[in-house]
Amino acid sequence: MSFAIVCFDCDSTLSKIEGIDELAKRAGLGDAMSALTEAAMNGSLPLEAVYAKRLTLIKPSRADLTWLADAYIAEQADDIHEVFSTLAAQGKQLHIISGGLRPAILPLAKSLGVPAEHVHAVDIYFNQDGSYHDYEQHSPLARNGGKAAVVSALTQAGKVVMIGDGITDMEAKQAGAYTIGFGGVVQRETVKQSADVYVTTASLRGVLTHLQ
């Protein structure tokens, strides 16, 4: 099946970590936040029910986001650069669509050759001293159905495929996208049941077979 536009989730897909959980651990709030993240990713809790709560408790600073950006790159998925260079050579338009925090994702995107305007994520705002102020509360990606909203706009330029590990990624089907569930980092039965195809290889290269 041929796709003009290939979209990837970030957490537990392009990188082996869940960014918000890593920030929580750094703040000494690890276990409680991990449970909330898992509930949102497997669909037992709506994303909007946990998004604000997690950030209000963690209060990530500018320095925390810089630290997370480095962690995303250090823990990037196996064979990620091969996958992105292959898709770019095929003329695919590449996007990252994530409910994660945009400043932390941008350096990983840049290393993969994905332009900043193709990074769809939630912005975060800091006080003058670099401490946490707020997040982009009206971002569609801070709630369920947000990835479908972003994908809907992209479908005007061609056929879209969305690749990710969570149930929010599978919601892209609502906008007409083909969905590939990626279980190389975390396997979720709800995602396996919802995806058009499900990949369990640890290497991100496992998705290439389905993108020709």
Q: Tell me, what CATH number does 158's domain have?
A: 3.40.50.1000
How many domains is the chain partitioned into structurally? 1
Across the range 118-142, mean pLDDT stands at 96
Across the range 90-102, mean pLDDT stands at 97
pTM value is 0.93
pLDDT exceeding 70 applies to what percent of the chain?
100
Dihedral sign, Cα of residue 195, residue 199, residue 204, residue 207: negative
Instruction: Write out the residue range of the structural domain in which residue 136 sits.
Output: 5-210
Counting every residue, how long is the chain?
A: 212
Dihedral sign, Cα of residue 52, residue 53, residue 56, residue 58: negative
CA distances from 44 to 108, 121, 169 (A): 29, 22, 15
Give the whole-angstrom CA distance, residue 139 versus residue 187.
27
Which residues carry out catalysis?
9, 11
